[in-house]
Amino acid sequence: MIDHKRILIVDDEEDIRDVVRVSLEEFGGWQTITAASGFEGLQIAKTAVLDAILMDISMPDMDGFQLCAALQSDPHAQQIPVIVLTAKVLPSDRQQFAALAVAGVITKPFDPVIIWQQVAEILGWSIEQ
Amino acid sequence: MATQPDLSWLAHLLMFNCDTGNSAGFLPVEVGWVVLLAAASGSIAALITDWIAPKLRSGIEPRLAGCDQSHQDQARAESGCRPEYQSIYQSIYQSKYQSAEAALQQSETLNRAILSALPDLIIRMRRDGTYLEIKHATAFPSQLPHFEVGGNIRNVLPSESAQRYLAATDKALQTGEIQIYEFPLRVQDQPLWQEARVLPLHADEVLIVVRDLTQRQRTEEALRRSESQLSMAQRVAQVGNWELDLLTQARTWSEATFYHWGMDPSQPEPSLAELLPRVHPDDRALFQQSRQQAIETGLAYSLDLRVIHPDGSLRYLELRTEPILDEQGEVVKLVGISLDITHRKQTEQALQEREAMLRAIGDNLPKGFIYQRVYEPGKGSYYSYVSAGIERLLGIKPEAVLADSKAIRTVGFAEDLALADRVVRESLQNLSPIELQMRNRTPQGEIQWSSIRSRPRRLADGRTVWDGVEVDITDLKRTEAALRASEQLFRSAFDDAPIGISLISPTGQFVKVNAYYCRLLGYSEAELLNLCFQEITDPADREADLEGLRQLLAGEIQSFQMQKRFITKQGTTVPVYLNAALVRDQNGQPLYSVGHIQDIRDRLKVERMKDEFISVVSHELRTPLTSIRGALGILETGVFDQRPAQAQHMLKIAINNSDRLVRLVDDILSLERLVSGKVTLVMESCQVAELMQQAIDSVQSLADQAGIVLSMQPLETELRAAPDAIIQTLTNLLSNAIKFSMPGGTVWLVAEPQWIEPAEGDPVSEILFTVKDQGRGIPSDKLEIIFEQFQQVDVSDSRRKGGTGLGLAICKKIVQQHDGRIWVESQLGKGSQFYFALPVVGSHDRP
């Protein structure tokens, strides 16, 4: 097992939050915190000690772009690497992500067994079996 | 012919050769020659000089020598007689045995008188030139020095002339024969043409008879000139003259006459029988008949005759014949002239052919006629010729126009005629050509266009003549009008085209732009024509555009298309779709490039919307799939094998999201069918209350679960509608109301009839359905867009409430297909009322 990483999951879909949470905890052995909206996620990111944020893009009220901008403007939160987990997979969608200050993108649907490995790979974490 | 009445003058020189040894028994005479000069007028006179008479004895044998040619000529010239010469020879010698002496003595006085009357100078001269006797004559000067008896010829005449005489004297004396000379002499500066006859008298004496020929010479000269002139005149005029003596059948033809008949002038004149074959067979009868008639009746005739020459050529002769009558009125002679009129006939024929050709052309002009119009001072204008085509063209007979020039004006238009009158006046004044286009009314009442062209000529007599042609140009006019219309059409097609059209020079300069082009780019036409396309092209697209133009100009491509951006005058960017091609001149040189530009802002917007829709649909489908895939993936690992509650939760996630996915796919398909019109709603008569009840029934369990009370106010009426679609609409609205209501709340379903009065047309009867809730309400800025696809007020709401984001879009489509309206009224925190109204169609539409 690798270090006990702490990941913030931001997604408005409850089912998806559950699946991601289970995947990271059960297979990656990490700790997770979940947020159901951008606002909630931002509040947590400002104070909590986090190794990464895994966030959705299409969310009501504060979407992923707005959340990214908000995180960047926060001295504490801007240190945390962000990975986008999105169902927006078309080329026109991908172009929009280029402008974002994110470490990587993981598309939905994802394989729950290996998603933790994808995160580790994007962030350059070593994986010890 | 013993006598000849008109014989006025006759001179004979009778020469008696009194050969001494010849006349046996006769007295010899001292001289070998005796000259007897006889001159008389109407009678014969004998001249015997006094110095000859004594010498004569008797019995001289007269021998008639006749007149030589020179005497004939002289006689003719002096008398003015006709050329016929008839000689009358008369012996003047009465008896050879009469006493010469006695006779001479008796007639001496007479002889002298006669001698003195002779116009000749008579001299008796010795061999040495000494004058022995002189009889002066008026024609010769008598006052010459030494010209007297005893004088010498050497002192009288110039030495050359004197020598001639002396030589002749010697020759006469030596030969004993008369010497005759003609030579000019210049005495006292007077030219004399003289004939000298030198006769030997005896051993040392001669008799010289000198006659002045000057006058004769002049007359002969004049005659020769006259004859030459006549001959020349006849040759020039090609007039031949001829006469026929009917009594003697003697014919006299001039040389030209021979030529006219193709005969040899050196041959004798031909007889009628010889002549006839030369006459053209068709003319022979007339020729003979006319001739015979002239002979019988004395009538003159004039005849044009065809004559065939030996070489086969055909000549035309004009014959004029005048019979000559004697005192009894009998025709004794035919005199006439002939004239070769072949050339004139040929010219006439050519002229006739030319006229016939002209007439044929005029008469056969397919749609027109030729004419000659004349203006005669004091008489006015008239037509001297109009070809037959006028009747076909204008329905007027040529004769009518020839009779009255105004006839042609009856078919014209007043304003055209006024113009024509002015042009003709100018033409008359300046001799300017006439070119007119005029309208005429055809007999069928149609308007016909004519083109009239003529050129005036001023004749010597003051008349002005226009040779002209009028042709139909109605078709041309129609074509012109069609062309104008076509050009107008093209111009409006260019100007009013709903796309921008430009012509651009090979360097990029705007040459022509249409209104749309100007509007799109915000420039006036004048401003654009001062610009190059490069200047208003977005710099990012400039290279690609120039490359396209280069390839066009190089002939590498026929046309090119590109999406490019223009910068408007206002500085905004307009995306356009450009389609460009090159127009070349007839030599293949590039003239300009034609560019069509299409404003693609709307298209790009639609494309963007389409992309967004696909993106949204893709996202909406992937979202439940993510949950399903994740939950199933977790279960598969067996990680929750020992934790059934967790496993159950994962299964529930998978099932719920599968249902959601099915609903989503169903909604997408229904909406697509409604939007594309692939499914037509089948209208039928429905009971409104039944529709409402069915909808309530289908959402009752949902309402019960949510703790919501449903309240229905049914309407017992009929409606023509697609029942399933209306139930779906009601169900969608009711389930939305239930989802967004707090537990314990109430959702109302009401239907009521109403009349609305549209701005136009009759009042319409409607059924208004209302679904009312007490939910949180909808922000006012969302009231419109919630009926669009995937435009939930809150994205997470739909997920949470199991919506697809397509329900209201489907409702809107169904209501629209019923020609109805759908809208929403809402107050945040208080609740929303969704309305839809369906028109009630007339009873006659009921089944």
Task: Please name the residue ranges forming H helices in B125-158.
Answer: 153-156
Q: How far is A75 from chain B (nearest CA, A)?
A: 30
Contacts of B649 in chain A (CB under 8 A): 18
Cα distance from N-terminal residue to C-terminal residue, chain A: 6
Tell me if chain B has a CB within 8 Å of the CB of A26: yes
Among B94-108, B113-127, B180-194, B526-540, name the most confident range: B526-540
What count of other Cβ atoms lies within 10 Å of the Cβ of residue B423? 16
On the CB side of B673, CA atoms within 13 Å amount to 10
Cα distance from A24 to chain B (closest Cα, Å)?
A: 11
Interaxial angle between packed helices B214-237 and B69-79, expressed in degrees from 0 to 180 and rounded to the nearest 10:
80
Residue B93: pLDDT over 80: no
| pLDDT value of position B280 | 92
Are B705 and B739 spatial neighbours (Cβ–Cβ below 8 Å)?
Answer: no
- Residue bearing the bigger pLDDT, B617 or B62: B617
Q: Looking at the partner chain, which of A19, A88, A93 has a beta carbon nearest the beta carbon of B653?
A: A19
What distance in Å separates residue B537's CA from the closest CA in chain A?
26
In this structure, of B39-53, B251-265, B430-444, the range with the lowest mean pLDDT score is: B39-53
Chain A CB contacts of B631 under 8 Å are 15, 19
Whether residue B72 is predicted with pLDDT greater than 50 in this model: the reply is no
Q: What is the pLDDT of residues B574-599, one digit of tens each?
A: 999 999 999 888 888 888 999 999 99
Residue of A nearest to B636 (CA): A113
What is residue A68's predicted lDDT score, i.e. its pLDDT?
94
* Least CB–CB distance from A92: residue in B615, B633, B795: B615
- Answer yes or no: is pLDDT of B7 > 60: no
| Residue of chain A with shortest Cα separation from B655 | A15
> Closest Cα partner for B789 from B633, B615, B652?
B615
How is residue B568 annotated by DSSP?
Answer: P
Alpha-carbon A126 to chain mean position: 18
How would DSSP label each residue in B638-699?
Answer: TTTTT-HHHHHHHHHHHHHHHHHHHHHHHHHHHHHHHHHT-S----EEEEHHHHHHHHHHHH
Find the closest chain A residue to B610 by CA distance. Answer: A92
- Provide mean pLDDT across the span B752-774: 87
Q: How many CB pairs under 8 A join A and B?
A: 93
State mean pLDDT over B656-665: 89
Percent of chain B scoring above 70 in pLDDT: 82
Instruction: Look at residues B10, B60, B58 and name the one whose alpha carbon lies nearest to residue B35.
Output: B60
State the Cα–Cα distance between residues B604 and B778, nearest whole angstrom: 31
Asked if B778 contacts B785 with a C-beta cutoff of 8 angstroms, the reply is no
Contact B623 A93 (CB under 8 A): no
Nearest CA in chain A to B607: A92
- Across the interface, which of B623, B634, B646 has its CB nearest the CB of A23? B634
A12 vs B619, B649, B795: nearest CB: B795
Task: State pLDDT tens for residues A55-100.
Answer: 999 887 788 999 999 999 999 999 999 999 998 888 877 888 888 8
Cβ proximity of B473 and B450 under 8 Å: yes
A91 CB within 8 Å of a chain B CB: no
Residue B131: count of CB within 10 angstroms of its CB: 19
Q: How far is B696 from chain A (nearest CA, A)?
A: 30
Query: Across all residues in chain B, what is the average pLDDT?
Result: 80
Q: Any CB–CB contact under 8 A between A49 and chain B?
A: no
Residue B18: the pLDDT is 35
Residue of B604, B613, B625, B627 to mutate for A, most A C-beta atoms under 10 A: B627
Interface predicted TM-score of the whole assembly (ipTM), two decimals: 0.94
Find, in chain A, the residue whose alpha carbon is nearest to that of B621. A87
Q: Which residue among A15, A36, A110 sits closest to B657, beta carbon to beta carbon?
A: A15
Model confidence at B81: pLDDT above 50: no
| Contact criterion met (CB < 8 Å) for B794 and A26 | no
Output the pLDDT for position B423: 93
Nearest to B609 by CA among A100, A92, A51, A35: A92
CA distance A65 to A100: 7
Q: With contacts defined as CB-CB under 8 Å, which chain A residues touch B623?
A: 13, 16, 87, 108
Look at residue B575 in the predicted model and tell me its pLDDT: 94
Q: Within an 8 Å CB–CB cutoff, is residue A109 touching chain B?
A: yes
pLDDT at B184: 75
- One-character DSSP codes across A19-71: HHHHHIIIII--EEEEESSHHHHHHHHHHS--SEEEE-S--SSS-HHHHHHHH
Give contacts of B655 with chain A, Cβ < 8 Å. Answer: none
pLDDT of B83:
34
B206: pLDDT strictly greater than 80? yes
Q: What pLDDT is attached to residue B595? A: 92
Nearest CA in chain B to A23: B634
Cβ–Cβ of B630/A90 closer than 8 Å? no
Chain B hits for A90, Cβ within 8 Å: 611, 614-615, 618
Asked if residue A40 lies in contact with residue A8, where contact means CB atoms within 8 angstroms, the answer is no
Confidence of residue A48 (pLDDT cuts 50, 70, 90): very high
What are the strands of the beta sheet with B179-187, ordered from one edge? B131-135, B121-126, B205-212, B190-202, B179-187
Nearest chain A Cα distance for residue B634, angstroms: 6
Residues on chain A touching B637 (C-beta within 8 angstroms) = 26-27, 112-113
Structure tokens at B252: 């006299």
Nearest to A19 among B627, B639, B794 (CB): B627
Please report, for residues A69, B82, B372, B470, B672, the alpha-carbon distance to residue B219 in angstroms, rounded to integers and kept in the order given.
150, 15, 59, 69, 138
User: What was the pLDDT predicted at B747?
Assistant: 93
Q: Are B380 and B406 in contact (CB under 8 A)?
A: no
- Interface of B to A at Cβ within 8 Å reads 611, 614-615, 618-619, 622-623, 625-631, 633-634, 637, 639, 646, 649-650, 653, 656-657, 794-797, 799-800
For B340-343, the CB contacts below 8 A with 24+ separation are: B340/B238, B340/B259, B340/B260, B340/B315, B340/B316, B341/B304, B341/B316, B341/B317, B342/B314, B342/B315, B342/B316
pLDDT in the model for residue B52? 41
pLDDT the model gives residue B613: 78
Pick the more confident residue, B185 or B756: B756
Contact A108 B799 (CB under 8 A): no
Q: What residues of A are in contact with residue B627 (Cβ under 8 Å)? A: 13, 15-16, 19
pLDDT in tens, B240-275: 888 888 888 888 898 888 888 888 888 888 988 888
Q: Is A6 on the interface with B (CB under 8 A)?
A: no
Rounded to a whole number, what is the distance in Å from the CA of A1 to chain B's nearest CA?
16
Q: Which of B629, B796, B801 to mutate to test the interface with A (most CBs of A within 10 A)?
A: B796
SS (H, E, C) B69-112: HHHHHHHHHHHCCCCCCCCCCCCCCCCCCCCHHHHHHHHHHHHH
Mutate which of B626, B628, B649, B660 to disrupt the A interface (most A C-beta within 10 Å)? Answer: B626
| Mean pLDDT along residues B37-53 | 36
Residue contact A60–B794, C-beta within 8 A = yes
The answer to whether A12 faces chain B, any CB pair under 8 Å, is yes
pLDDT category, B434, cuts 50, 70, 90? very high
| pLDDT at site B101 | 56
Distance from CA of A7 to the nearest CA of B (A): 18
Predicted confidence (pLDDT) per residue in B518-550, tens digit: 999 999 999 999 999 999 999 999 999 999 999
Q: Supply the pLDDT for residue B96.
A: 38
User: How many angstroms separate the CA atoms of B340 and B258, rounded?
Assistant: 11
